C-alpha cells in the first residue's frame, strides 16, 4: 500500500498505462505507431466520445443519470444537417438551432426529474426513446445528405500542425468544465448535491435547481457533440445510442484516476484516451475486430474493482472508528479521539 501511494500507482495508474502503451507500441511498430497521423486518429477520432463522456459526467456529479445523451447528440446532428441540406440554411444558424434542440431536451429532462419527481434513470431513458421517435419524424427516416460546404467541413476538419481542430473543442470544453466543476460555487453545489442531497438541502443549497441545471448542461454538451460528429464524420441516423455506454464506462473509469472516488474531468478524458491509444496500437498489430471490445471491458472492470477494493480497505478502517465511538452513550474522550484520521 505504501508503494502504491508513494508512486501514485493507484491514482495515476492510467498515466502509467498510457506511457506503457506508447513505449510498447513504438518499439513494436516503429514505422506506424509513433506518427502525427496516429496521434491525430486517436485524438480527433475520440473527440465525440470524449464530449459525450463529459456530458454524462456533469449530472453524475450531482448524483443523477442522463441516459439520453446519445439520442440527443444524434438528434442535433440530424437537425444541423437537415437544416443545411434540405432547408439551405447557413452554417451558423443551423448550428445554433441544433444546439438549442439539445438545450430543449435538457429542459424537458429537468422538468420530469425535478417537477414530476421521476428518477433521472427512468426519465432520461424515456426521453431518449422519445427523441429517437422525434428524430424519425423530423428526418422522415431518411439519412440526411452529406453537407459539403467548406464552412461546415472546416468547422471541425481544419488541420493545425497535422491535428484536426475538433480536438481543440474537446480541450476547450474540458478546461471549461474543469474550471466550472472544481473552481466555482456551481461545481461545489453540484458535488454537494451528489455527495448527500439531503445534507446539501439542509445547508441551504437549492438542490432542485442544480439537478435541473446539470441535466440542461449534459444535454447541451451532447448537442454540441452531435454537431461535431455531423461535421467531422458525416450524416448518420444511428450513431448516437452506441456512444452512451462507452461514455459511462469512461466516467466511471475516470473516477478511479487523478482524484480517486470523485467524478472528475481530467480522469474522464484520460480514461477515454488511454483506452483509445491501446486500441489503436493493437489495431496496428492485429486485425482482430473483437480486440477493442475485449480491451475496453477488461480495463473498466479491472480499474473499478481495484477502486472498490481500495475503498473497502478504507471503509474497514472507518468502521473501526465508528465502532469505537458508538457503544456507550457517553464514551470516554480517549477512545474516540485517539484514532488518526485516514487521508484519502
- The residues with which 159 forms a beta bridge, in sequence order, are 164
Q: Which is nearer to other proteins, 142 or 206 (CB)?
A: 206
259 interacts with other proteins by CB under 8 A: no
Do 85 and 138 meet the contact criterion of CB atoms below 8 Å apart? no
> Which residue in the set 185, 242, 297, 302 belongs to the binding site for other proteins (CB under 8 A)?
185
For other proteins, the closer CB: 143 or 342: 342
d(CA 98, CA 138): 12
Residue number with CB closer to other proteins (30 or 185)? 185
Binding test (CB under 8 A) with other proteins, winner from 77, 80, 114, 192: 192
Identify which range of 75-83, 120-128, 270-278, 333-341 contacts other proteins by CB under 8 A.
333-341
Binding of residue 8 to other proteins (CB under 8 A): no
- Taking the alpha carbons of 140, 143, 146, 152 in that order, is the dihedral positive or negative? positive
- Choose the binding region for other proteins from 66-74, 279-287, 300-308, 324-332 (rule: CB under 8 A): 324-332
Single out the segment in contact with other proteins by CB under 8 A; choices: 26-34, 112-120, 161-169, 186-194.
186-194
CB of 184 to other proteins, least distance (A): 6
Please list the residues that pair with 163 across neighbouring strands: 160
Q: Whole-number minimum distance, CB 327 to other proteins, in Å?
A: 5
- Residue 299 CB, nearest distance to other proteins (Å)? 24
User: Among residues 30, 93, 195, 302, which is the contact residue for other proteins, using CB under 8 A?
Assistant: 195
Residue 332 beta carbon to other proteins: minimum distance, rounded to whole angstroms:
4
**Which residues contact other proteins by CB under 8 A?**
179, 183-185, 188-189, 191-192, 195-196, 198-206, 261-262, 314-315, 318, 321-322, 324-337, 339, 341-344
Amino acid at each position: 500500500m505504501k508503494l502504491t501511494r508513494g508512486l501514485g500507482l493507484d491514482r495515476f495508474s492510467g498515466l502509467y498505462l498510457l506511457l506503457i502503451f506508447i513505449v510498447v507500441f513504438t518499439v513494436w511498430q516503429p514505422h506506424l505507431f509513433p506518427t502525427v497521423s496516429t496521434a491525430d486518429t486517436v485524438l480527433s477520432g475520440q473527440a465525440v466520445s470524449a464530449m459525450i463522456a463529459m456530458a454524462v459526467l456533469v449530472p453524475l456529479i450531482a448524483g443523477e443519470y442522463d441516459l439520453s445523451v446519445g439520442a440527443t447528440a444524434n438528434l442535433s446532428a440530424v437537425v444541423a444537417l437537415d437544416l443545411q441540406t434540405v432547408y439551405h440554411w447557413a452554417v451558423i444558424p443551423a448550428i445554433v438551432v441544433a444546439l438549442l434542440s439539445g438545450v430543449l431536451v435538457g429542459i424537458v429532462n429537468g422538468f420530469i426529474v425535478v417537477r414530476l419527481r421521476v428518477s433521472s434513470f427512468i426519465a432520461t431513458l424515456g426521453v431518449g426513446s422519445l427523441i429517437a421517435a422525434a428524430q424519425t419524424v423530423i428526418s422522415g427516416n431518411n439519412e440526411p445528405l452529406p453537407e459539403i460546404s467548406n464552412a461546415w467541413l472546416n468547422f471541425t476538419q481544419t488541420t493545425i500542425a497535422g491535428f484536426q481542430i475538433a480536438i481543440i473543442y474537446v480541450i476547450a470544453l474540458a478546461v471549461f468544465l474543469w474550471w466550472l466543476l472544481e473552481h466555482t460555487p456551481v461545481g461545489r453545489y453540484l458535488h454537494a448535491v451528489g455527495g448527500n442531497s439531503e445534507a446539501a438541502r439542509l445547508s441551504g443549497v437549492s438542490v432542485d435547481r442544480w439537478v435541473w441545471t446539470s441535466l440542461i448542461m449534459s444535454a447541451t454538451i451532447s448537442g454540441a457533440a452531435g454537431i461535431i460528429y455531423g461535421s467531422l464524420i458525416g450524416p448518420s441516423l444511428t450513431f448516437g445510442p452506441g456512444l452512451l455506454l462507452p461514455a459511462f464506462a469512461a466516467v466511471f473509469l475516470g473516477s478511479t484516476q487523478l482524484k480517486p472516488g470523485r467524478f472528475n474531468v481530467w480522469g474522464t478524458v484520460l480514461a477515454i484516451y488511454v483506452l483509445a491509444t491501446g486500441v489503436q496500437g493493437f489495431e496496428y498489430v492485429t486485425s482482430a475486430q473483437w480486440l477493442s471490445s475485449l480491451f475496453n471491458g477488461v480495463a473498466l472492470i479491472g480499474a473499478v474493482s481495484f477502486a472498490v477494493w481500495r475503498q473497502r480497505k478504507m471503509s474497514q478502517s472507518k468502521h473501526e472508528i465508528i465502532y469505537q465511538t458508538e457503544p456507550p452513550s457517553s464514551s470516554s474522550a480517549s477512545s474516540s479521539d485517539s484514532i488518526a484520521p485516514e487521508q484519502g
